[in-house]
């Protein structure tokens, strides 16, 4: 079963489907063991965590593929990947789709901002024309058909903030017509507006419930009641990790001991259990025993 088909299966099994952000392979293992059926690799998370850069379109396709491969090599939970604006014109978008599929991704979302993009919950976003975005989608759909027809293409529109709800819905309809499998309605403010999106779409709609942004912390029950079929939490665990790490660093620097922050830390045995460490160790012992027997 292809990664794309696994994602589609997950979407059919859970409504709304919770898609949780995992910025590295270890987080992907954690999310999988907790029971999530789909995970997410954030472009902002890659820029922030892997390169120490802000989410302003400064990372490139291979930077993303490195992290996709790290996750998919250790975890078979389908991963949806942030493709930003696709890294160029139609041929670049097609290459992005093919490289993501080869790296093991189940799907991606591509947005209608200009190449010099901004975080979706920041002001002064600029968008390409509807026609240019539709070209991106058509290129993505054409490319996936060559490698994995089940690969999931999500069209993200940032129009709500700059052009208004009606324009965002109109754009989304055009993106569906161009072949998008789903719509990512970014920075929507109310359940009523989400319902308007869902009522007018013939494909699933994704709600991005990111912390400290423009969208309130709606529950899955609330979102499901208005027709949302996917709920994304792109960086929740990453933010918690960052806060805990900074607390540990500051406390250790001030007190000269980490004793006061042990309650924030995962124990050695909890780490080993998550990784299956003892299974690896037993395998190594068995191989060494075979070698000595010879």
Q: Does 119 count as an annotated binding residue?
A: yes
82 is catalytic: yes
- Decide the pairing of beta strands 182-185 and 205-208: parallel
Written as six digits, the tokens of 47 are: 């820029």
From the candidates 134, 208, 229, 233, which is the catalytic residue?
208
From the candidates 84, 99, 112, 158, which is the catalytic residue?
84
Q: How far lies 11's CA from each of 3, 39, 96, 120, 168, in Å? A: 13, 12, 23, 24, 24
Count CB neighbours of 240 within 10 A: 12
From the candidates 8, 65, 99, 109, which is the catalytic residue?
109
109 is catalytic: yes
Give the whole-angstrom CA distance, residue 90 versus residue 213: 31
Give the whole-angstrom CA distance, residue 281 versus residue 293: 18
Q: Does 84 count as an annotated binding residue?
A: yes
Give the whole-angstrom CA distance, residue 42 versus residue 76: 18
From the candidates 40, 175, 194, 233, which is the catalytic residue?
40
Q: Does 120 count as an annotated binding residue?
A: yes
Give the residue ranges of DSSP H helices in 73-164. 90-103, 130-147, 159-163
From the candidates 67, 82, 99, 112, which is the catalytic residue?
82
121 is catalytic: no
Written as six digits, the tokens of 44 are: 């902002």
Q: Does 88 count as an annotated binding residue?
A: no
Q: Which of 148, 164, 156 is nearest to 44 (CA)?
A: 156
Q: Does 67 count as an annotated binding residue?
A: no
From the candidates 8, 67, 70, 111, which is the catalytic residue?
111
186 is catalytic: yes
119 is catalytic: yes
Q: Does 142 count as an annotated binding residue?
A: no
Q: Does 253 count as an annotated binding residue?
A: no
From the candidates 48, 55, 112, 196, which is the catalytic residue?
55
Residue 202 dihedral angles phi and psi, to the nearest 5°: -100, 5
Give the whole-angstrom CA distance, residue 249 versus residue 225: 43
From the candidates 150, 158, 181, 186, which is the catalytic residue?
186
Q: Does 162 count as an annotated binding residue?
A: no
Q: Does 209 count as an annotated binding residue?
A: yes
The CA-CA-CA angle for residues 185, 168, 225, to 5°, reads 45
Q: Does 179 count as an annotated binding residue?
A: no
208 is catalytic: yes
From the candidates 119, 181, 194, 229, which is the catalytic residue?
119
Written as six digits, the tokens of 81 are: 């990947």
40 is catalytic: yes
From the candidates 8, 70, 136, 156, which is the catalytic residue?
156
Binding site for Mg(2+): what residues are annotated? Answer: 82, 84
Binding site for substrate: what residues are annotated? Answer: 42-44, 119-120, 156, 186, 208-210, 239, 268
Binding site: what residues are annotated? Answer: 42-44, 82, 84, 119-120, 156, 186, 208-210, 239, 268
Catalytic amino acids? Answer: 40, 55, 82, 84, 109, 111, 119, 156, 186, 208
């Amino acid at each position: 079963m292809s990664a794309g088909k696994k994602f589609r299966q997950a979407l059919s099994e859970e409504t709304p489907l919770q898609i949780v952000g995992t910025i590295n392979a270890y987080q992907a293992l954690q999310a999988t063991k907790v029971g999530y059926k789909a995970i997410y690799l954030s472009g902002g998370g890659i820029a922030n965590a892997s390169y120490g850069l802000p989410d302003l379109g400064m990372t490139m396709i291979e930077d993303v593929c490195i992290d996709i491969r790290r996750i998919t090599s250790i975890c078979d939970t389908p991963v949806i990947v942030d493709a930003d604006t696709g890294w160029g014109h139609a041929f670049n978008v097609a290459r992005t789709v093919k490289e993501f599929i080869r790296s093991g991704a189940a799907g991606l979302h591509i947005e209608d901002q200009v190449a010099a993009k901004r975080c979706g919950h920041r002001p002064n976003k600029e968008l390409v024309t509807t026609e240019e975005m539709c070209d991106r989608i058509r290129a993505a759909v054409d490319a996936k058909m060559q490698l994995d027809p089940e690969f999931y293409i999500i069209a993200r529109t940032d129009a709500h903030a700059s052009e208004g709800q009606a324009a965002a819905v109109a754009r989304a309809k055009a993106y569906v017509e161009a072949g998008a499998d789903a719509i990512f309605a970014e920075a929507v403010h109310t359940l009523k507006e989400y319902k308007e999106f869902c009522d007018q779409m013939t494909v699933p709609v994704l709600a991005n419930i990111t912390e400290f942004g423009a969208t309130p912390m709606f529950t899955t029950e609330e979102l499901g009641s208005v027709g949302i079929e996917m709920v994304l939490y792109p960086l929740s665990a990453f933010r918690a990790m960052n806060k805990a790490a900074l607390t540990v660093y500051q406390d250790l620097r001030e007190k000269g001991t980490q004793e006061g922050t042990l309650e924030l830390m995962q124990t050695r045995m909890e780490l080993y259990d998550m990784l299956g460490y003892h299974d690896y160790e037993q395998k190594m012992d068995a191989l060494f025993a075979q070698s000595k027997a010879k």
